[in-house]
Amino acid sequence: MYHLMIKTSFAAAHNLINYQGDCENLHGHNWRIEVTVAAKELDKAGLGIDFKILKKQTNQLLDEFDHKYLNDLEPFKKASPSSENISRYLFERLSKSLNNDNITVECVNVWESENACASYTRD
């Protein structure tokens, strides 16, 4: 089985809801995003999926978050904009746009700092 992974990032403000502590205050992060897809087979150029497509689809999606206040956005009107929920949202959106007979989104890692990462993974 082949896997392809790309790294990218976005910067945004957020604050956790239903939380007591520093993270309930308005703050922000440079989130680093890692998207991993599985590919069953390679095309005649030897690619599972062109990294360019993977980066483009991911960055188009992240444009919705970049330099925004996440709590104001539709996906986080009802769900606390934690790294866990960001990860799940990106996973579900990318699965819709990327999954096909050959490609399956496996995992989205959301690093909120150099030392802390939340992931949503296809079981």
Q: Does 2 bind its own copies (CB under 8 A)?
A: yes
Minimum Å gap between C-beta 76 and its own copies is 9
Minimum Å gap between C-beta 52 and its own copies is 7
Q: Does 42 bind its own copies (CB under 8 A)?
A: yes
Nearer to its own copies, 68 or 75 (CB): 75
Q: Does 102 bind its own copies (CB under 8 A)?
A: no
Contact (CB, 8 A) for 122 and 87: no
Backbone angles phi, psi at 89, to 5 degrees: -60, -45
**Alpha helices (H) in 63-105, listed in sequence order:** 83-98
Minimum Å gap between C-beta 118 and its own copies is 6
Six-digit token pair at 104?
A: 């399956």
Q: Does 56 bind its own copies (CB under 8 A)?
A: no
Of 30, 24, 27, 26, the residue nearest 11 (C-alpha): 30
Which position among 13, 28, 39, 59 is part of the footprint of its own copies (CB under 8 A)?
Answer: 39
Of 10, 64, 66, 4, the residue nearest 35 (C-alpha): 4
Total interface residues for its own copies by CB under 8 A:
44
Q: Does 35 bind its own copies (CB under 8 A)?
A: no
Q: Does 26 bind its own copies (CB under 8 A)?
A: no
Q: How many CB atoms lie within 10 A of CB 25?
A: 9
